[in-house]
Chain A
């Protein structure tokens, strides 16, 4: 899959509602080690490493969007 297709695939333009529920079920159950990733901090524009948060303490992460 090309990068462009990956982007269009992920960012669907029409909500259909067939969620990938199975992925959530099997991916990171309680007790397992959280997955690390890099993201951009909106406030400063810096790149941050998610693991930096759990290295200092507990972290509660909510996923979402405007819509």
Chain B
């Protein structure tokens, strides 16, 4: 689970400019006692409602099916983001949500709409990719994991050798 409040701000700014925002509810990235992995669709639905209430989500939440059809189609990462334009082209994608960068992309799509309206010919489009740096917020991470349950923290520790909200020093020791 990444950042919801900044996305909400973006949603408020762009929803009247022809953008639709969605959060797709997928499998629990870090299942724990309080939020275990989904055994039924009703359970997935219940977790999604909890997310909406606990994080005060204003953006529409779509619930993926139990098999994760949408999640699989889009790459299976826990917190990806995709920006898709009217022509169904994937205009931006990232393996982690960064609302700040997304704002820049939304702006360029607004500009693109404007160019198209003025019939400026768009001769070529290309793809660029880059290493994208996200600031890690250990307190936020700790809150998420504790909310899921001690098991989530234990499992992470077993997988990585350090706590999910470990400091650099602790991380380097492993």
Contacts and interface: CB of A to CB of B under 8 A. Distances in A.
On whether A and B touch (CB less than 8 Å), the answer reads yes
Interface in A5-46: 29-31
A51 to B, nearest CB: 19
B130 interface: yes
Contacts of A30: 129-131
Contacts of A31: 131
Nearest to B128: A30
At the interface, is chain A mostly helix, strand, loop or mixed?
loop
Contacts of B129: 29-30
Interface in B148-165: none
Interface residues of A, number: 3
Contacts of B130: 30
A29 B131 CA distance: 9
A13 B129 CA distance: 31
Nearest to B129: A30
Interface string B126-160: 00011100000000000000000000000000000
B133 to A, nearest CB: 12
Contacts of B131: 30-31
A29 B128 CA distance: 10
Interface of A: 29-31
5 contacts: A29-B129, A30-B129, A30-B130, A30-B131, A31-B131
Considering the complex of A and B, which 3 residue pairs feature the smallest CB-CB distances, nearest first?
Answer: A30-B131, A30-B129, A30-B130
